[in-house]
Structure 1
Amino acid sequence: MTDSRFSKPLIYMLIGSAIILALSLGVRHAFGLYLVPMSHEFGWGHNVFSLAIAMQNLIWGAVQPITGAFADKYGSKVVVAVGGLLYSLGLLLMAVSSTGWMLNLSVGLILGLALSATSFPVLLSAVGRAAPPEKRSMAMGIASAAGSFGQFIMLPSTLLLLQSFGWSAALVVSAILVALIVPLAWMLKAPMYVAPNAHSAESKPNLGFKDVLIIVKNHKPFWFLALGFLVCGFQVVFIGLHLPGYLIDHGYTATTGTIFLALIGLFNIIGTYSAGWLGGKFSKPHLLMWLYGLRGIAIIGFLMLPLSTWTIYAFGVIMGLLWLATVPLTNGIVANMFGVKYLSMLSGIVFFTHQVGSFFGGWLGGVNHDMTGNYNMIWAVSIILSVCGVLVHFFVTEEHVIHD
């Protein structure tokens, strides 16, 4: 009978990772609430703020493999602590941004760099290294769920700050909260899990970064997995950033959009935890096929049904269950394929494609709105991409290429 308990160091790391992800992703998911007030105050089109968020996602993804490589080599603690400092700095600069270039510097560059050090690839990889293989998917699911709880808490809190004190003061408060990431980083100190028979097993090749990258380059299932993650990035950033504005266009208040996003955060706790649990029992590629297919069906249903408060909130609940459930499954597949020694770097490569999708989902949503006054074309692209997300995972396997 398998012991289902986590070790004390792993529990300590899970608590630290959970709080860090809650702060990092909670603040990040609230950025969509700033689009309308900042655009109105400075006379920007939606594309100005959308471009800054799109740049953030692209920079975040581009540097993620490098940040991951540093975390693999030097440990997660220092990388996450530096990321926390950058995050606070970026939010403070965003609070005084009155031009497009300042917004791109703060939201795009600095926050993009900060998020690469304080989000899923680094933290889930740290958890994955500390967890035994049979508990890895579950541990990643627990840590992922925490980011959703942060979204659930931070969205209404941010809206309250926006309505009471304005967008600039809300960003200052967020910067103070995010600074807590720095001391929390020292909770990430659980040792790498070593199987009881690891030392008596046959000798394994000591592969370096370059050796692993050569193997990865020629492994097609890895790249199909990465392509599927691009779909995820496009959909979540488009909906997370533009849905509040979409609802305002249709006569609803910012409060409705905030409740929608908070419902995503709340039900994503269930979705990510369940995905981590199911990933330990069933085929992860097959689960991902179901997730992307159900997303497409949910979007079609939302667009076809008459828009009302109840359909908006129902869409939030359904999307919440499917929102980041892809993350523990995708990272779990990478760990199964290549082991955990270089997991931060390899997860970062897959995450880069996610952020390419995020770039286009965020930016094209703003461009489409400014050109046509609606988001019809991007909704259609989101549905088509759901079909692509199902198809590419037919070619993804979990076969071990490099063992732990």
Structure 2
Amino acid sequence: MSTTRSFTQPMIYMLIGSALILALSLGIRHAFGLYLVPMSHEFGWGHQVFSLAIAMQNLIWGAVQPITGAFADKYGSKIVVAVGGVLYCIGLLLMAMSSTSALLNLSAGLIIGLALSATSFSVLLSAVGRAVPPEKRGMAMGIASAAGSFGQFIMLPTTLLFLKHFGWSASLMISAILVALVLPLAWLLKAPIYQTKSGHAVSAPALSFKQVLHRVKQHKPFWFLAMGFLVCGFQVVFLGVHLPGYLIDHGFSATTGTVFLALIGLFNIVGTYTAGWLGDKYSKPKLLMWLYAIRGFSIIAFLALPLSLFTIYTFGIIMGLLWLSTVPLTNGIVAQMFGVKYLTMLSGLVFFTHQIGSFFGGWLGGLNHDLMGNYNYIWVISIVLSFFAVFMHSFVTEETVIHD
């Protein structure tokens, strides 16, 4: 295998740094659902208060992601990720002191939302995508995504242990210390843009920023892809935030919900890596259609079968395989359509729709619970949206609009 087709040392450092940052950033965020019950009980909040803060977090994260992505495209991922790490620490420390809904919205909502826009998939996977050869892009993104999943698996039982022994406030402070590791890890993100044997960067389209945006605006498959990603956001945030509470409502312990989310994180490692690998070999839009269809049928089966530890944990395994498998496939399609020069910003545009879905999945889940005492309507919406996503992706192609 030629050197240009192999991962060079800077590429490997980039991959390691991105993987560890995603593990920390997404692992800590994935455990936020465990704070819903203890914080709501201590301050006498309904589920809607905490749910709204997390919903705001996701909406702000998505709204500023294209802007954060544009900064990363222009100034480099290293600086953007380091700033995001600082904001993440501040947000967690303020969240640990949140005794009012206003302070919770400021910390968990605004500040951590801004931090996640700089320390999560759009910035880090785009950095990886630029650094590796196009034929290995899907696999590299899958590896980085899988590491984020491993962080989710590790942080859930760890957070539950902290909550049981130290309480929710101290647990958030410990998380702030852990996320401070993002700052030194950010300096590993300095691999140059991949170049061909002739020395030409693969990401140098002779189009201006405005010209690229004009192409994007007119390209309908891009917006069908974005609408499908909205469904992913709705489902993962609803399950991540509300499934532990749903299980408590049905007589199961907080440990059961933690194991469910940990299984998602564990099997997400397999799912994201496999999705990235398959995306280099088969049609990414068709793979996404299968993913969303299986999600829909899995939710139907989970609700139809008697609730037991077996059905809960089996559902966690299945959802884990499908959880973030959409991310390397979706980002890979964007890179195929428009190249990698503006990949962070364009991935951010698609991700914004994901976060609109996340907002409604988080907020409506809490609202439905407070008004009706259950999550029935949200389950129905989740099922309908699965097949809506299948329909949307049937119009998505991998046609190259801007050549690398």
Per-residue deviation, 1:5: 3.6
Measure the CA separation in 1 of the matches of 2:205 and 2:192: 21
Residue deviations 1:144-181 (CA, integer Å, cap 9, x gap):
00110000000000000000010000000000000000
Q: Please list, as runs of the form range in 1=range in 2, the aligned pairs for 1:272-351 lying within 5 A after superposition.
A: 272-351=272-351
1:402 aligns with 2:394: no
Q: Please list, as runs of the form range in 1=range in 2, the aligned pairs for 1:209-288 lying within 5 A after superposition.
A: 209-288=209-288
Measure the CA separation in 2 of the matches of 1:200 and 1:321: 35
Q: Please list, as runs of the form range in 1=range in 2, the aligned pairs for 1:137-152 lying within 5 A after superposition.
A: 137-152=138-153
Measure the CA separation in 1 of the matches of 2:49 and 2:201: 59
1:362 aligns with 2:359: no
Measure the CA separation in 2 of the matches of 1:118 and 1:49: 22
Of all paired residues, the percent bearing the same amino acid is: 78
2:194, 2:201 within 8 Å by CA — same for their partners in 1? no
1:36 aligns with 2:37: yes
| Residue type at the aligned position of 2:281 | K
Measure the CA separation in 1 of the matches of 2:2 and 2:367: 53
CA RMSD of aligned residues (A): 1.3
Measure the CA separation in 2 of the matches of 1:205 and 1:162: 50
Residue deviations 1:287-341 (CA, integer Å, cap 9, x gap):
0000000000110010000000110000000000000000000000000000000
* SS of equivalent to 1:214: helix
Structure 2: which 5+ residue stretches go unaligned?
Answer: none
Per-residue deviation, 1:206: 2.1
| Residue type at the aligned position of 1:340 | V
Aligned to 1:388: 388
Structure 1: which 5+ residue stretches go unaligned?
Answer: none
Measure the CA separation in 1 of the matches of 2:6 and 2:163: 42
Question: Cα gap change, 1:321/1:39 in structure 2, threshold over 3 Å: closer, same or farther?
Answer: same
Aligned to 1:185: 186
| Residue type at the aligned position of 1:176 | I
| Residue type at the aligned position of 2:391 | L
Measure the CA separation in 2 of the matches of 1:200 and 1:165: 51
Aligned to 2:127: 126
* SS of equivalent to 2:399: coil
Per-residue deviation, 1:205: 5.6
Measure the CA separation in 2 of the matches of 1:244 and 1:2: 49
Return the TM-score normalized by structure 2: 0.98
* SS of equivalent to 1:30: helix
* SS of equivalent to 2:394: helix
1:68 aligns with 2:69: yes
Per-residue deviation, 1:2: 7.5
Measure the CA separation in 2 of the matches of 1:244 and 1:131: 39
Q: Please list, as runs of the form range in 1=range in 2, the aligned pairs for 1:188-199 lying within 5 A after superposition.
A: 188-197=189-198, 199=200
Number of aligned positions between the proteins? 402
| Residue type at the aligned position of 2:73 | D
Q: Which moved more, 1:269-278 or 1:208-217?
A: 208-217
Return the TM-score normalized by structure 1: 0.98
* SS of equivalent to 1:307: coil
